[in-house]
Amino acid sequence: MHLVDDLAGYVRKESRDVQKGAILFSSSEDGILIGWDETREYLNTRPGVHAVDGGCDNLEFNRSDATKAAGLQTLAVMLGIPMNETLSNNEDGVAVVLERIASLI
């Protein structure tokens, strides 16, 4: 892990091609994450950045072109699998895989 005081300055200075980041937040006494909403709104106004709820107490941000669909397409090309032979969660892709695994037991 590498800690810096000025993340944006570090990225610019080092010419880093950041793919993904995460920010951890502290909670107030009533369990509200301090600054989470404001930070998400700010990040989502930045060109090329997409921020999402990372679960628990964190906020994840990615390049806006880093999507599951783009990743799947890249992997499918690398493995020589046509996209029409892949299934998304909306198409019960996980259920299909679990049924195949269950049939092997």
Encode pLDDT of 47-102 as tens digits. Answer: 888 898 888 889 999 888 888 888 889 999 999 999 988 877 777 878 888 888 89
Q: Is the dihedral of CA 21, 23, 67, 11 positive or negative?
A: negative
Q: What are the structural domain ranges in the chain?
A: 7-63, 68-104
10 Å CB burial of residue 58 (0-12, 13-18, 19+) is middle
What DSSP character marks residue 31?
S
pTM: 0.58
Confidence of residue 28 (pLDDT cuts 50, 70, 90): very high
Q: Percentages helix, strand, coil for the chain, rounded to the nearest 5?
A: 45, 15, 40
Residues facing 58 on adjacent strands = 24
Q: Are 64 and 48 in contact (CB under 8 A)?
A: yes
| Cα separation, 91 vs 70, whole angstroms | 17
User: What is the average per-residue pLDDT within 20-27?
Assistant: 90
